Amino acid sequence: MVVPRNKAGYYISVTHPMPWFVFMIFIILCLALAPLFVKAFLFLSSSAGLSVHPLVVFLTKRFWIATGIYWAIIIIGTIIALPTMIKFGFFTN
């Protein structure tokens, strides 16, 4: 199947909303699981006797800052990649 393009080379339209929905659910899941994974890492590290390690101490004191940095990286990466994904037809059937 040949997907039509406009003069700039971009695919003309998204024919089905399901790929967008799945992509948004994936991004939301990535953002929602970040605090859980950081907490699991801290729990497992402290139960293994590494509670005095500098990384564990840093993440314990600055939990939400570390989570916010992760969220920022995911959001900025999505903003950078989204135009290319649309251009090359990632969301078309």
Position 36 scores a pLDDT of 92
Domain hosting 61: range is 50-86
For residue 53, report the phi and psi dihedrals to the nearest 5 degrees: -65, 140
Position 23 scores a pLDDT of 84
Per-residue pLDDT of the chain (93 residues; tens, 9 = 90+): 566 666 666 665 555 667 778 888 988 998 899 899 889 999 999 999 988 999 899 999 999 998 999 899 999 999 999 888 888 877 775
Give dist(CA 20, CA 92) in Å, integer: 9
Counted domains in the chain = 1
Task: Tell me whether residue 57 is in a domain.
Answer: yes
Task: Tell me whether residue 54 is in a domain.
Answer: yes
Task: Tell me whether residue 40 is in a domain.
Answer: no
Give dist(CA 43, CA 78) in Å, integer: 30
Whole-model pTM? 0.66
Task: Tell me whether residue 66 is in a domain.
Answer: yes
